[in-house]
C-alpha cells in the first residue's frame, strides 16, 4: 500500500503539470492576457492548432530559419480565437507579418514578406 506522503507527492506533481500545460489559459483568465491586436511592425504571429500538419510545417520553417514568432493556438485561447476571427481566419494556419495576412500554407509569400529569399523548405 502506498504511503500517504507518496500520494501527496503524486497529487502535487499532477497539479503542477496541469498548471504548466494550461499556463496561457490560466494567465488569460486571471487578467494577464497579452493583447494580440497590437502587432509590432514586422512581428510574426502564427494562428494555429495542435493537430494541424501545415501549422507544424510553418513552425518548423520559422524555427529552422531563426525567425522569431508568436504561436497562438486558436482552440486553446479565447483571445487568440477572437483575434483570428477579426483578421478573417477560417482555417489554419494563418500568419500575420506586421499588417500583412497570409491565409494557408504559403512559404513563397512568407519568404517575400520576411525578405527571406535564401530560405529553403
Q: What is the DSSP string of 18-31?
A: HHHHTHHHHHHHTT
Instruction: Tell me the per-residue pLDDT of 58-70, one tens digit each, with 9 for 90 and over.
Output: 999 999 999 999 9
85 and 54 share one domain = yes
60 and 8 share one domain = no
Instruction: Over range 95-121, report the average pLDDT.
Output: 86
pLDDT of residue 30: 52
Total count of domains within the chain: 2
97 and 118 share one domain = yes
The reported pTM is 0.65
pLDDT of residue 10: 82
10 and 38 share one domain = no
Q: In what order do the strands lie in the sheet with 70-73?
A: 70-73, 44-48, 94-97, 100-103
Question: Which residues span the domain enclosing 11?
Answer: 1-33
For residue 1, pLDDT over 70 is answered with: no
Q: Report the C-alpha gap between 116 and 11 in whole angstroms.
A: 48
- Measured in whole angstroms, how far is the alpha carbon of residue 47 from the centre of its chain? 6
- Assess contact for 45 and 35: CB atoms under 8 A: no
Amino acid at each position: 500500500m502506498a504511503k500517504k506522503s507518496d500520494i501527496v507527492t503524486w497529487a502535487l506533481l499532477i497539479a503542477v503539470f496541469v498548471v504548466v500545460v494550461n499556463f496561457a489559459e490560466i494567465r488569460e483568465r486571471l487578467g494577464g492576457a497579452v493583447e494580440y491586436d497590437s502587432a509590432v511592425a514586422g512581428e510574426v504571429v502564427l494562428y494555429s492548432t495542435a493537430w494541424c500538419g501545415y501549422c507544424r510545417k510553418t513552425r518548423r520553417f520559422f524555427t529552422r530559419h531563426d525567425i522569431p514568432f508568436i504561436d497562438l493556438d486558436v482552440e486553446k485561447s479565447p483571445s487568440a480565437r477572437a483575434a483570428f476571427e477579426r483578421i478573417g481566419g477560417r482555417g489554419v494556419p494563418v500568419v500575420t507579418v506586421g499588417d500583412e495576412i497570409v491565409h494557408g500554407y504559403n512559404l513563397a509569400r512568407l519568404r517575400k514578406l520576411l525578405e527571406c529569399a535564401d530560405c529553403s523548405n
